[in-house]
Amino acid sequence: MDTGTIIIGLTIFVLACFAGAELIAKVPPTLHTPLMSGSNAISGIAILGALLATGHPESFNSISVIGFLAVILATINVVGGYLVTHRMLQMFKK
């Protein structure tokens, strides 16, 4: 990994932090829990890393076991997260 890539990564990191912080600035308290839950589901994006770790080798080895576990956990996070968020939002009428 070269320094240029790191700097670009940092640039993206800073911008995304700004966007993330600003996006959330006006959320009402009743939405705190759904929002937390929704962004928790998003953080299940770690699944991409898990997929890459698991899909890499053709053979079955300790890495793929770790990756497999990671896929399971990340999937739970993603699927559970979105569903839970959805259920909470169901409760809001109007």
Partner 1 sequence: MSQHIINLIYLLAATLFMVGIKYLSSPDTAKKGNFLSMIGMAAAIGATLAAPEINGFTLIIGGIFIGTVIGAYAAIKVKMTAMPEMVGLLNGCGGAASALVALAEFHGNSTGFVPFTLLTLLLSLIIGGLTFTGSLMAYAKLQGLIPTRPVTYPGQQIINGLIVLATVALSWLVFQDSTNILTIAGVLVLSLGLGVLAVIPIGGADMPVIICLLNSYSGLAVSMTGFALSNNALIITGSLVGASGIFLTKIMCDAMNRSLANVLFSAFGKVDESATATGEIPAQTMKGGEVEDVATILANAQSLIIVPGYGMAAAQAQHATRELADYLGEHGIEVRYAIHPVAGRMPGHMNVLLAEADVPYEQLFAMDDINDDFAATDVVLVIGANDVVNPAAKTNPASPIYGMPVLDVEKARTVIVLKRSLNVGFAGIDNELFSMDNTMMLFGDARSSLQKILATLKK
Query: What is the Rg, in whole angstroms, of the alpha carbon atoms belonging to the chain?
Result: 18
Among 12-20, 28-36, 54-62, 82-90, which window interacts with a second copy (CB under 8 A)?
12-20
- In angstroms, how far is CA 22 from the centroid of its own chain? 18
String marking each residue 19-58 x if it binds a second copy according to CB under 8 A: x--xx-xx--------------------------------
- Is residue 76 a contact point for a second copy (CB under 8 A)? no
- CA distances 92 to 24, 29, 37, 40, Å, are 19, 13, 15, 20
Q: Which residues bind a second copy (CB under 8 A)?
A: 8, 11-12, 15-16, 18-19, 22-23, 25-26
